[in-house]
Amino acid sequence: MKVTLINPSITMKERYGKFAKGGSSIPPLGLAYIAATLENNGVEVDIIDGSVLNLNQGALEKLLSKHNPDIVGVTALTPTLYRSYEVINTVKKTLPDSLIVIGGPHPSLFPTAVLKENANIDVSVYGEGECTVLELANNIESHGKDNSKSFEDVRGIAYRNNGQIRKNTPRPYIDDLDTLPFPARHLLPMGKYRPALYQIKRSPNTNLIASRGCPFNCNFCSKGVYGRKVRMRSPENVITEIEYLIEKYGIKELLFWDDTFTLNKEWIEDFCILLKEKNLDITWSCSSRVNKVDKPLLQKMRKAGCWSIFYGIESGSQKLLNNINKGITISQVRNAVKWAKEVGIQVRASFMLGLPGETKELAEKTIAFAKDLDPDYAQFNITTPYPGTELMKVAGKYGKIISHDFSKYTIWSPIFIPNGTTSEDLTKLHHQAYMEFYIRPSYILKRLAKIRSFSDIKIYLNGFATLVSSSIH
């Protein structure tokens, strides 16, 4: 049994729009976890990561013919669904007898819709894919891809059966994440990945996750793959993976890709203690919520190597935060940013423009709030009501959705227009936010004063080039 997993080729322009110069690429851990699970159970597997290989159709056809897999799995995000469909069509043309499987965030939300939209898809996987794809591969090897026995009892899939589309019961989430093997990074072109320069201090670096699931209710967020149930790997298991990454790849910096890394305070404290006891030469960054940190915790993280933290702040208006069920207060935002600065952790902050109920005045309030908080880096996203989110359901109450072309759902261009606002207003505010935040004498002088290496200079030059590029689009 041979399986090929594909991450479609997506250009920086397609992913980041006018901010393409500041784009990044990181290992697709979802596919790598599935690949590792297959390998550990005797299945021959490879990964084609088109996101960094920049494969055209001809090059993809050659790789597919060379690997000649029995099963081809393709991952799909909502904004790049059309690219996934293009890959699937190429697979069908090149390997007409292979079983074609689609999975990832979008199929997890719409497992039957993708089968209706693309006749070349045989199976869609929804939810966590490791156990589902393994069971599917074993069944195909035992019964063949044309036997209904291969599909009818596999939880977490939708499939075709005699011209009909059937959706099986969901698969329970994996409770003990320590049972999963480490991601199969050896199947990826590890030397080709490049996080955004402002996200890293040292190289080589890579991403990893310590938990799955998010219990919060932000109405702009979808939880299609990992769900609301939070599951943590043990600190010991994460430390073991870090030791492996240092030994195998010489990793010096880690980007924790968890939704909320500081969700469990006791876990973080144990992790930091273990990390210091091991005396590992590692620096790291993570994402969190402003209501899930305190100063003592941030101090412990800083002493254990954490140098940067990302907060989803979203707005400077408590009314708008309430409208999106963010579950935080302006006071909590100010404290979390202040505490991080005081202990020496850099702050990256995300804000949203075009929120439900937002006016031009409230948008400018958010921009002013960002400047007042003065994080080290700020990202301003245009509110996008993704399919399957609560925001999509309530959008009509607050404004209108002007496009259902998923390829435009990138957070860089207007999709949802709040009442009393226009698409042009949002575009101007988006540009205004970046220019007002970054082109401030106080900000520029502060960043220049922090230059310690050539890599710091590269970060600032790249950031300046990104701003210039965005201003002429």
List of domains in the chain: 2-167 (3.40.50.2300), 195-382+424-438 (3.20.20.70), 446-473 (no CATH)
Cis before 96? omega within 30: no
Q: What is the pLDDT of residue 459?
A: 61
Question: Which residue reads 């069509």 in tokens?
Answer: 89
Q: What is the pLDDT of residue 196?
A: 79
First to last CA, the chain: 48
Q: What is the pLDDT of residue 40?
A: 98
Pairing of strands 253-256, 211-212: unpaired
Q: What is the pLDDT of residue 163?
A: 86
User: 356 phi and psi, to 5 degrees?
Assistant: -55, 125
Q: What is the pLDDT of residue 194?
A: 86
Residues 453/441, Cβ–Cβ less than 8 Å: no
Extract the tokens encoding 399: 């404004």
- pTM of structure: 0.93
Q: What is the pLDDT of residue 23?
A: 66
Q: What is the pLDDT of residue 63?
A: 95
pLDDT in tens, the chain (473 residues): 999 999 998 765 666 556 556 567 899 999 999 999 999 999 999 999 998 998 889 999 999 999 999 999 999 999 999 999 999 999 999 999 999 999 999 999 999 999 999 999 999 999 999 999 999 999 999 999 989 999 999 999 999 988 899 999 999 999 999 999 999 999 999 999 988 777 888 999 999 999 999 999 999 998 878 988 999 999 999 999 999 999 999 999 999 999 999 999 999 999 999 999 999 999 999 999 999 999 999 999 999 999 999 999 999 999 999 999 999 999 999 999 999 999 999 999 999 999 999 999 999 999 999 999 999 999 999 999 999 899 999 999 999 999 999 999 989 999 999 999 999 999 999 999 999 999 999 999 988 887 766 666 666 566 555 554 544 44
User: 379 phi and psi, to 5 degrees?
Assistant: -120, 135
Q: In what order do the strands lie in the sheet with 346-353?
A: 205-208, 253-256, 283-288, 306-314, 346-353, 377-382
Q: What is the pLDDT of residue 447?
A: 83
Residues 34/133, Cβ–Cβ less than 8 Å: yes
Q: What is the pLDDT of residue 449?
A: 82
Q: Of 312, 335, 333, whose CA–CA distance to 324 is shortest?
A: 312
Q: What is the pLDDT of residue 472?
A: 44
Q: What is the pLDDT of residue 221?
A: 92
Q: Rounded CA gap, 308 and 294, in Å? A: 15
